Structure formats: C-alpha cells, structure tokens
Homo-oligomer: A and B are copies of this chain.
C-alpha cells in the first residue's frame, strides 16, 4: 500500500459475500457511485466483488449480484470491506486472508465498514494500528490482531493507508471522507448534496 491523494483514475472495489450487511456496502456504494456518476471527470470507478459468481443473500435477506469475482476484478486502488454476520465464517479462512492481503498489497488504501474490520484484522492488516468496528465487536477486534489500538468512540479511523469505520451506517460518513480525501472537501459537499445527506435522526 502506498500514499493517497492527487487526481487520476481511482478504482474502488467493494467486497460482497454471503451474509454481508446491506447498508454496510450500500452506504459507501451510494456515496462513491454518486461521485462517479455526477463527476466522471474525477475518474472514480466503483464495483463489487465476490468470491464466486452467483446470487448472494445479504444479512437481512436482500439478494444481490456482484459485478466481478475474485478471479476477474479490475485492479483495486481502494478496497472497501463491509461487515455483517457473514464475516464470522471468513475468520481463519486461508483463502480469504490471502485474497485480502493480495488486494491490499496492490491498493493505495484498504478500508472497512462495521465488522469488515474483523476480516482485515484476521489478515494481519490492522496489527499495530488504530482501528474501529461495530460497537458490539470492539473486544473481538482487539483479540484478532497484534497491538490493535481499538477506538470505540470514533465514527471512523483514518490511519493513512488503512481506514476503518464503526457500525453499519458509519460507512456513509467514511465514504464521504474518502471523497474529500481524494477530491477535496468541496467535491465531497457536492456529493453530500446529491444524496441529500443532511441526517436528522428523529429519535
């Protein structure tokens, strides 16, 4: 993984898998997709990737198809690893560890949403770094790597080439931060306006 910033094409690959939490992927997808759609001159591209072809059933039952498989996806500049109960069977899986490490090695930034951080930690990518995850998995995260500094109060943690977000909806905030980081605050505000992201939780 190398530094970030600057112009040029940026490919965002979002991992999908059985049991992925819907908003974990759909939040960043919407933010990054709106950026790519409304401002094609920035060169952002976004796609999803699954281990194998075929329909995936998400954590709450939505059925989706990924754009690519592990075997045929474009080069990933920014990996987005969502969470969901489907992350648990991936922990300790040598093939998942290897794929994540391989993608990370060629990427500029590796990111996670929610319990996607567990998969990054299991692959050793969070060792010695600050990171966060869903509030209910903070202890689990701390135990998965070596010297992970777990930050339970942060909406997302930007450690340069690794960025981790808190639970589910936090992926929207993180993705908007990525737009700002790659294309500037003004652009991020334009994307924010496009998706009318001025949240006002009613409770």
| A→B interface (CB under 8 Å) | 21-23, 26-27, 29-30, 33-34, 36-37, 46, 48, 55, 60-65, 67, 114, 134-135, 155-156, 166-170, 172-173, 176-177, 180, 185, 188-189, 192-203
With both chains docked as a complex, state the minimum distance between the C-beta of A3 and any C-beta of chain B, in angstroms: 20
A61 cross-chain contacts in B, Cβ below 8 A:
33, 46, 67
Q: What's the number of copies of this chain in the assembled complex?
A: 2
Closest-by-CB residue of B relative to A190 is B203
Verify A135–B67 contact, CB threshold 8 A.
Answer: no
Q: List 30 A-B contacts (CB under 8 A).
A: A22-B33, A26-B26, A26-B62, A29-B60, A30-B169, A33-B61, A33-B62, A34-B60, A63-B67, A64-B64, A65-B65, A134-B196, A135-B193, A135-B196, A155-B198, A156-B202, A168-B195, A168-B196, A169-B172, A169-B195, A169-B196, A169-B197, A169-B198, A172-B199, A173-B200, A180-B202, A180-B203, A188-B202, A188-B203, A199-B199
Q: Besides A169-B197, A172-B199, A176-B202, 10 other CB < 8 A contacts?
A: A26-B26, A30-B168, A34-B60, A55-B65, A63-B64, A135-B193, A155-B198, A155-B200, A173-B201, A176-B201
